[in-house]
Amino acid sequence: MTENEAMFLTPKQVARKYRVSVSQIYNLMRDRRNPLPNYRIGKCYRININELNEWADNNHSQAIP
């Protein structure tokens, strides 16, 4: 993978990484004030790992322990 290629995770992979439920990840994605950045590809959702890390750093007190 080159520097310009993005790595995407499924909501299930994100839940496993942060040890939370998958439904909590979906709730964070739907949050109106500060949603977890995500992309819908067909019927599937994907989360860019770089955007996830940035979001988690900025919102560590909000939701993901």
- Overall domain count for the chain: 1
Mean pLDDT in residue range 5-29: 93
For residues 42 and 56, the answer to whether their CB atoms sit within 8 Å is no
pLDDT digits 0-9 by tens, 30-46 = 999 989 999 999 999 99
Asked whether residue 30 is assigned to any structural domain, the reply reads yes
Asked whether residue 64 is assigned to any structural domain, the reply reads no
- Helix (H) or strand (E) segment spanning residue 44: strand 44-48
Query: 49: domain range?
Result: 8-58
Query: pLDDT band for position 14 (50/70/90)?
Result: very high
The pLDDT of residue 60 is 66
Asked whether residue 65 is assigned to any structural domain, the reply reads no
